[in-house]
Amino acid sequence: MVAKAYSGSCQCGAVRYEATVDLDETVSCNCSRCGRLGSILAFTPEDRFELMSGEGELTEYLFNRNTIHHLFCKVCGIQSFARATTPDGRKMVAVNARTLEGVDPDALDPKKVDGKSF
């Protein structure tokens, strides 16, 4: 599969976005946050992500090394995406594939990442 454009949102719809992601390249992480959330992540460069609405409804959570900006809706609590900068300086967005419209999360085959070890 190649990267495709999707629309996504939090549960209540206050936060809406569009992103171009490749769903053949998803990951699931077992770190203390991702493991509890059950997120399936698809990564995309920042210029392939657009927040359509809800900037003022986002709350940020930082933990561990404080390098990933976990953003979630302060109305419904859903984390649709997170922002970070890679070690080589690229700005990336980790989209929670479970928040993409028209995507069956059970049809995805995410690569397992051992975030507990980082």
In a domain, 107, yes or no: no
Q: What is the mean pLDDT of the chain?
A: 92
> Pick the residue with more confidence: 35 or 118?
35
24-66 pLDDT, tens digit per residue, is 999 998 888 888 889 999 999 999 999 999 999 999 988 777 7
Decide if 2 contacts 22 (C-beta within 8 A).
yes
Give how many domains the chain has, as a whole number. Answer: 1
Between vectors from CA 75 to CA 69 and to CA 50, what angle results, nearest 5°? 50
CATH code for the domain in which residue 72 is found:
2.170.150.70
- Whole-model pTM: value is 0.89
